[in-house]
Structure 1
Amino acid sequence: MEKKEDPKCSSAEVDDKSPKDELQELLQTLEQVTWDGLPLVKYCGCWVPVITFRTILAAQKHFKAKDTDIILSTMPKSGTTWLKALTFSIANRNAFPIDQSPLLTSTPHMLVPFLDLNVYWEQDNPDLETFPIQEFSPRTCISTCFLFPSMKPTVELSTSAETLWINEAFYMYCQGINAYGPFWDDILGYWNAHLENPEKVLFLKYEDLKEDITSQVKKIAEFIGFPFSVEEEEQGLIDQISRLCSFESLSNLTVNKRGDINGIAKNSSFFRKGQVGDWTNYLTPAMADRMKKLIDTKFEGSGLMFKT
């Protein structure tokens, strides 16, 4: 694997005059690997899927957040679909009664689009004021979580792509090599941003959502500026939203069993077990011990704790 210097991280890397040529030239300067059949490129210290590299650069260059924007950022396979459904339902509960929720006929990823797989997929600089999501939602909700490591694209990306054995995948993961890795940089980046500016950055944990969904839904609602009234709580609206957005509910909807996102990921692939601690069925005790030591080392002194 040839190592190359990571160039200056700047949205100006791609020239508007010849974006394709500039993109190819940039790719030639970057370190590349394959993760479970998914080609990755190391950009600004992060392993980015090659298939979304152009759109990520476009978003980096053109996206300008507004104070009213709600941006969800998650690690792949850490509850992205669930968080999208919850946030959309909370922010738009006055526009759509529970029994008429767009979630019943549209996937969470249609209602809360990915920056790279949706917003910037067709155009490098789309008009966000007229982006199709507006017909569903009076609020602007977008996501910065894209592919997940073991997802198999339905389009051919590499003639030599092979599925990794779990021990090889685990080794690479511990080296920080996986889609949008290293995971510790991503997590600590948002954790520190939350500590520095808690009014702008809310940090959630999947385990906390599973353990006490009611308090977490209330926390999300308050953070995005849509707190539940006493009357809404007494009417059981929090429970209704929680049930609508639950794994059992969403995974059984026809819309989430069919179709895909730009031919890359099947909608059904976003729904797995969703169980806390299921890793014990796949990792050996030695792997678990190594992961614990890695987490302890990387997060030492940060104040961030995880349940094991």
Structure 2
Amino acid sequence: MAENATSLLFPGNQTNVGFENEAACDEAHEKLICQECKEFLLSLPREKGWFKPYIYLYQHIWYAPAQLQALISFQKHFQAKDSDIIIASLPKSGTTWLKALTFAIVNRNRFSPSKHNHPLLISNAHELVPFFEFHDCKTNQIPDFSNLSDPRLFGTHVPCHSLPDSITMSRCRIIYICRNPLDNFVSFWFFYNKIVPPLSPKLSLEEAFERYSEGNSVLGPFWTNILGYWRQGKETPNKVLFLKYEDLKGDTKFYLKRVAEFLDCPFNLAEEGNGVIEKMIELCSFRKMKESAELNKKVKVMQKYENKDFFRKGEVGDWVNHFSPWMKEKLSKVIEEKLGGSGLSF
């Protein structure tokens, strides 16, 4: 990260407002944006946001103002441990599912997947595996993760090239999950229209699609985020495990074992024989997480969302129900242009 940006913003315990909390604290966010950040925004390229007035380009990625403030605070203050495990992704790429599966794998000796009081049955995965960038907008403190037991599990939507040095220089493990951009866009659009503040305008499918295809959307361009982790996974496979949602969906047991091996906690023969993997898959199934009465009666997840907000269909190929022929053709061309030659395909 550029030193001038670091020194300009957050000279102390500035509030860290998170990615996932933005819609919840729309008005409060405007008040909590520090003056230094407001001035810094003036120096950045900007485009119209989906439901924010503007998004700003920083380190090749588009952010809303509160997100940018949170990102730079995260870059400046977070200190990684070698034992940390990070779930990275673009929003709506299978993040909730992978968080749940990873939590279940790492904690299976503490919490049997067959127990009726397993943490995943009473807490949303985003509460058990917190986002780096998320913080209660009502407080004025840098997030304190000291109460988390090792190995600590985190989630992030930050692109690979913007991660703090403490992460890139440590031996912590990163699991990245991506999704076919056609499905990712549809899920992303439905989610954002669900959480958009009541008085904010909603983008039509076509208008949102145009911006997404051009890379002008929050946390876009999608290809920058995906390619960064894809290349890092090729260069340092012991550091970054790159997964595709479609593969995980198609053979969950195989990839669950692969994740466990990557994290140096493989399933032993006794566990495989006792059906531990199958019980884990059922525990973290889309149906179980979406329909959990215990989770759905909770007031809010991460200050804002209902548990059900994180689950729509979870299907592969649902884009065919929403795309016009020209949309498929256009986004397919973008994917080929941006990802062609990388070895990554969908």
Q: Aligning the two structures, in what range does the TM-score lie when normalised by the shorter sequence?
A: 0.7 to 0.9
Residue 304 (structure 2) pairs with residue 267 (structure 1): no
Could you say which residue in structure 1 is the equivalent of 2:180?
A: none
Instruction: In structure 1, list runs of 5 or more residues that go unmatched.
Output: 1-6
Selected match of 2:267 from 222, 225, 228: 228
Question: Structure 2 vs 1, CA of residues 203 and 197 (structure 1 numbering), >3 Å: closer, same or farther?
Answer: same
For residues 274 and 171 of structure 1, what CA distance do their matches in structure 2 show?
Answer: 23
Could you say which residue in structure 1 is the equivalent of 2:242?
A: 203
Tell me how many residue pairs correspond in the alignment.
293
Deviations 1:161-198 (A, max 9, x none): 31111111111011101121000000000000001100
**1:286: Cα distance to partner?**
1.2
DSSP-derived class of the 1:251 partner: helix
Letter in 1 for 2:151: R
Question: Structure 2 vs 1, CA of residues 250 and 15 (structure 1 numbering), >3 Å: closer, same or farther?
Answer: closer
DSSP-derived class of the 1:293 partner: helix
Q: Aligned Cα RMSD in Å? A: 2.6
Letter in 2 for 1:22: E
For residues 284 and 58 of structure 2, what CA distance do their matches in structure 1 show?
Answer: 34
Residue 216 (structure 2) pairs with residue 151 (structure 1): no
Could you say which residue in structure 2 is the equivalent of 1:170?
A: 209
Question: Structure 2 vs 1, CA of residues 271 and 9 (structure 1 numbering), >3 Å: closer, same or farther?
Answer: farther
CA contact (8 A) 1:47 1:180 kept: yes
Could you say which residue in structure 2 is the equivalent of 1:3?
A: none
DSSP-derived class of the 1:202 partner: strand
CA contact (8 A) 1:153 1:263 kept: no
Letter in 2 for 1:209: L
Letter in 2 for 1:12: S
Question: Structure 2 vs 1, CA of residues 153 and 213 (structure 1 numbering), >3 Å: closer, same or farther?
Answer: closer
Selected match of 1:96 from 111, 114, 120: 111
Larger mean CA deviation between 72-81 and 20-29 belongs to: 20-29
**Greater relative contact order structure (CA < 8 Å, 6+ sep):** 2
Letter in 2 for 1:109: H
Question: Structure 2 vs 1, CA of residues 207 and 153 (structure 1 numbering), >3 Å: closer, same or farther?
Answer: closer
What are the equivalent positions in structure 2 for 1:69-80 lying under 5 Å apart? 69-80=84-95
Instruction: In structure 2, list runs of 5 or more residues that go unmatched.
Output: 15-33, 159-186
For residues 298 and 154 of structure 1, what CA distance do their matches in structure 2 show?
Answer: 30
Deviations 1:257-292 (A, max 9, x none): 243344443332111100000000001111111111
What are the equivalent positions in structure 2 for 1:1-308 lying under 5 Å apart? 10-16=5-11, 20-38=34-52, 39-98=54-113, 99=115, 100-118=117-135, 122-123=139-140, 125-130=142-147, 134=148, 138-145=150-157, 150-152=191-193, 161-257=200-296, 258-306=298-346
**1:215: Cα distance to partner?**
0.4
DSSP-derived class of the 1:76 partner: coil
For residues 151 and 295 of structure 1, what CA distance do their matches in structure 2 show?
Answer: 22
DSSP-derived class of the 2:74 partner: helix
For residues 42 and 56 of structure 1, what CA distance do their matches in structure 2 show?
Answer: 13
Could you say which residue in structure 2 is the equivalent of 1:4?
A: none
DSSP-derived class of the 2:108 partner: coil
Deviations 1:12-65 (A, max 9, x none): 331416952211211232233443314532211111233332221111111122
For residues 294 and 138 of structure 2, what CA distance do their matches in structure 1 show?
Answer: 22
**1:143: Cα distance to partner?**
0.4
CA contact (8 A) 1:174 1:294 kept: yes
Larger mean CA deviation between 17-26 and 50-59 belongs to: 17-26
Question: Structure 2 vs 1, CA of residues 71 and 119 (structure 1 numbering), >3 Å: closer, same or farther?
Answer: farther
* TM-score, reference length from structure 2: 0.78
For residues 333 and 232 of structure 2, what CA distance do their matches in structure 1 show?
Answer: 24
Deviations 1:104-145 (A, max 9, x none): 111101000011124898455333223xxx2xx542000003
Question: Structure 2 vs 1, CA of residues 272 and 155 (structure 1 numbering), >3 Å: closer, same or farther?
Answer: closer
Question: Structure 2 vs 1, CA of residues 199 and 82 (structure 1 numbering), >3 Å: closer, same or farther?
Answer: same
For residues 141 and 233 of structure 1, what CA distance do their matches in structure 2 show?
Answer: 24
**1:246: Cα distance to partner?**
0.6
Question: Structure 2 vs 1, CA of residues 17 and 275 (structure 1 numbering), >3 Å: closer, same or farther?
Answer: closer
